[in-house]
Structure 1
Amino acid sequence: MFTFTYYVSVLTVIIGGSAQFYTYDVINPAQTTLIKWLNQTYSSRGELKTEAELNMVWSMIVSCVAIGAIFGALSTKPLSERLGRRNGLIFNGIFNVIGALLEYLAKPLSSPEILVIGRIILGVNMGLTSGLVPMYLMEITPTKYRGSAGTCHMVAVAFSDWFSMLLALPEVFGGDETWPIAFGFPGITAFLLCCILPFCPESPKFSLLIKQDRVATLNDIGRLVDVHEGQQMYEDLIREKTNSDTNENISVSYLFTSKELRMPLIICVWVMVAQQFTGAAAIFAYSTNMFLNAGLEPQIARFSTLGISIIYFLFACSSVHLIERKGRRVLSLFQLSTVTASLTAMSIFTWAQAYYNIKLASYGAIAALLAYMCGYGIGSPIPWMIASEIFPTKYRSSAVTIAISVAWSLVFIISLAYLPFKQWVGVSASYLPFIIVSAISTCFVYFLLPETRNKHTNEIAQDIQLRSDTIRRYSLNILPSVGSSMGISPSNEASEDMRQHLIPRTKSFNSPSTPPYKYSSFAFTPPGETSENFLTKFWGQKR
């Protein structure tokens, strides 16, 4: 099964990497404290800021993380392919240490500008983390455990959400003198990552399919799993190798122009759009107000917000077990349908409370909020791992770059636009865009998202092609005139280009340190030896 090194690698990456989403939410409970500090700082400079100007500075401090994350997401492909998955995470950890240090020094130096710069740097770190961590976790894990490994990323994110809200409470480290501790805390775990991860193995997929180094691949696998799992893991890599030519340098733009990759790209982008339009950012930001409207005291309302964050974390933890039993598609459908129903109920209850002053409606809104957190937590890991599962290795970094960039761009837009939109249309109507997109996304996932559990990329590609061909034929039967005008004709077979990507081939594999051998889609073996004997002897010698 898994080795001790594997568990150390996973734990190091999720604590030092995934948990850095702490930065995004730590600012919310400390809002009153920070605005007070901003006012005092500008007053000491002789600059008297109006309330509107302070709100503008505050908005910049909050949203600059998303700006940095967009740049970080766009850097995922070049960093992951030039430095590798592991070394890219180490480089990213250095960003985190620098950003956390700047946030910690902002108060002693009385400089809101340093706080903004620190949060931008931490935003870059979060953007890179969004792509690199799921990619690394899923590539060092055998296929049948891949989903659970990818889910660990979002479990750590959920943990960081409530943990940041806990540390930033005024009663903990969110006070006037102690808030730099809460803001600088992520630098500690990032520093540990930078110290431990260099001793962990690189992704075997990167070593074989990108670096073309067979010996390094075998060494990486041998450090991660036992001989039995290692043989299967290596055969899976060889199968993927035969179905692609990783010597090509694939650009991000190629995914938009390639016909056979268009539908997988649409799928991984749309599930990310669906995730952001569940309204999670708005829910987390205004849940305290909902509790206040229900008649709770301010302190109790803050702790209630912390409570729903813990509920989100617990249900995200349950997805680690459910994702391999029920599959990605089922959990995604459950999340989107539950979120749609919960948001609809919240909209109705807040409308009844605002226009008819029905006191019980506020408690109905809280119940809907709890149901929302349960559904959202179970399906929250899925979008972050879809791109890593449905794309072959040579396209993976480009696909992840696009998906993560879309995600953080939407986070930035929604975080800026939601408050003015809410003030314009009212609280109850402000949920409507999220309800509409979530309902459409439920239908989209039902018809187009394939189940990726325990499947190889070529099997997933065939499933996607079959679904898209079926929908195309159905649409042409319903709207033949529209289909004819677009020049589309039904087809029972995958396109020639796609079939070329799916047909197993036999190629020669050349490693700088070994003579060329022949390998098939199922095993790599030197002449005269079986795959099992060769791999057993190799790892036995290394150990």
Structure 2
Amino acid sequence: MMAVGTAVIGSLQFGYNTGVINAPQNIIESFYNETWSSRFSEPIPQTVLTALWSLSVAIFSIGGMFGSFSVGLFVNRFGRKNSMLMANVLAFIAALFMGLSKLAASFEMLIVGRFVVGLYCGLSTGFVPMYVEEISPTSLRGALGTLHQLGVVIGILMAQVFGVCKRCAVCCVLLSTVSPSVQLFVVERVGRRPLHLVGLMGMAVSAVFLTVAMALLDQLSWMSYVSIAAIFSFVAFFEIGPGPIPWFIVAELFSQGPRPSAIAVAGLSNWSANFLVGIGFPYVEQLCGPYVFIIFIVLLLGFFTFTYFKVPETKGRTFDEISAGFRQSAGHGPDKYSAPEEFNTLRGDDPDL
């Protein structure tokens, strides 16, 4: 438990740096304006200020994309534990860049610091779930795997509280913190697949109610309460399944040899989606108005269908059993390859795997 708790500190850093940028927006923009004025003796143009702010937010996800895709390079060369220790150096470097940016009157240092901490968080989102999964006993693998998401939402909560953000935002994060705590006790009873399916369908239904509420808000004032309830419901269902489960189920589906590469691809997909949503959502919202969440509804239903037909249950199953299930579902029969033979095929020529 001590090893798992220590590893999850990296997840807390990820959550904190995800949520911390929003609260001090006005302070950061004032700093940008002061720095620009001292350099060029004129106020910063609004378009440039908006671009710098957007870059400050988006550069975190870009760093995360690079970091997550580099997970395999680190763990295959240095191992899981040493990779986590080495990644911490990036957190200190990022803190120095961001902490000294005002003293140096350089908004470039702040942006570089955001990139470096994104790089650190991208690495952590691969290292932590992999390490926790590999040191956990099979009977507790799912429960301990949810601690990664719990660390993330606790970090976001800390960022919101320190930033003294709006009450609704803090309530959402509190709900996000409670849900993984509950899942910690039910994931090994119910299983990954049912929780993921319930979460996806619950998010889709919540998004339907949210879309209806937003469309009718001008006609019916009480729809504002429906929209708030739908938002809370959406967050709760996200934390039931789609929030924590994808982080550790990838590690369960692959043997030790290809596992780092699989987690790297999964992490890159996650960070790329975060970047695209962060950059594109304001423009899509302007185009679609209150119907913007229909896009999410369609995607969620697609994810639900794929999970229902293709994703196996991994609760209490070893990799050999999961692999045999894949072979059976593919129509090859259970005896075409033995589990050790398949592992040797995946391992290739590396004798250390």
Normalised by the length of structure 2, the TM-score is 0.92
Deviation of 1:492 after TM superposition, in Å, equals 5.8
Contact 1:448 1:464 in 2 (8 A): no
2:87 is matched with 92
1:389 is matched with 252
Contact 1:27 1:168 in 2 (8 A): no
Identical residues among aligned pairs (%): 30
Instruction: Describe the SS at the equivalent of 1:353.
Output: coil
Instruction: Describe the SS at the equivalent of 1:393.
Output: coil
Any gaps of 5 or more consecutive residues in structure 1? Answer: 1-6, 170-298, 470-490, 507-543
C-alpha separation in 2, matches of 1:110 and 1:425: 40
Pair 1:156 & 2:20 matched: no
Deviation of 1:305 after TM superposition, in Å, equals 0.9
CA gap of 1:504–1:333, structure 2 versus 1, over 3 A, is: closer
Instruction: Describe the SS at the equivalent of 1:109.
Output: coil
- Structure 1 counterpart of 2:74, one-letter code: L
1:39 is matched with 33
Deviation of 1:49 after TM superposition, in Å, equals 2.0
Pair 1:25 & 2:19 matched: yes
Deviation of 1:342 after TM superposition, in Å, equals 0.6
Instruction: Describe the SS at the equivalent of 2:146.
Output: helix
Contact 1:449 1:464 in 2 (8 A): no
1:140 is matched with 135
The CA RMSD over aligned residues, in Å, is 1.9
Contact 2:139 2:316 in 1 (8 A): yes
Any gaps of 5 or more consecutive residues in structure 2? Answer: 345-353
Contact 2:323 2:339 in 1 (8 A): no
Pair 1:59 & 2:54 matched: yes
1:413 is matched with 276
Aligned residues: 342
Contact 2:201 2:301 in 1 (8 A): yes
Instruction: Describe the SS at the equivalent of 2:103.
Output: coil
C-alpha separation in 2, matches of 1:342 and 1:395: 36
In the TM superposition, what are the counterparts of 1:504-543 in structure 2 within 5 Å?
A: none
In the TM superposition, what are the counterparts of 1:317-396 in structure 2 within 5 Å?
A: 317-354=181-218, 356=219, 358-379=220-241, 380-396=243-259
2:317 is matched with 455
C-alpha separation in 1, matches of 2:88 and 2:26: 30
In the TM superposition, what are the counterparts of 1:449-488 in structure 2 within 5 Å?
A: 449-467=311-329, 469=330
- Post-superposition Cα deviations, 1:8-59, rounded to whole Å, max 9, x if no partner, equal 21221112x1111111110112222222222222122224322222111100
C-alpha separation in 1, matches of 2:89 and 2:106: 22
C-alpha separation in 2, matches of 1:439 and 1:99: 39
In the TM superposition, what are the counterparts of 1:119-198 in structure 2 within 5 Å?
A: 119-169=114-164
Q: Choose from 486, 489, 493 the match for 2:333.
A: 493
Deviation of 1:441 after TM superposition, in Å, equals 0.9
CA gap of 1:309–1:502, structure 2 versus 1, over 3 A, is: same
Give the structure with higher Rg (CA): 1
CA gap of 1:42–1:350, structure 2 versus 1, over 3 A, is: same
CA gap of 1:349–1:495, structure 2 versus 1, over 3 A, is: farther
Contact 1:340 1:439 in 2 (8 A): yes
- Structure 1 counterpart of 2:333, one-letter code: E
Instruction: Describe the SS at the equivalent of 2:100.
Output: helix
C-alpha separation in 1, matches of 2:323 and 2:42: 60
Normalised by the length of structure 1, the TM-score is 0.61
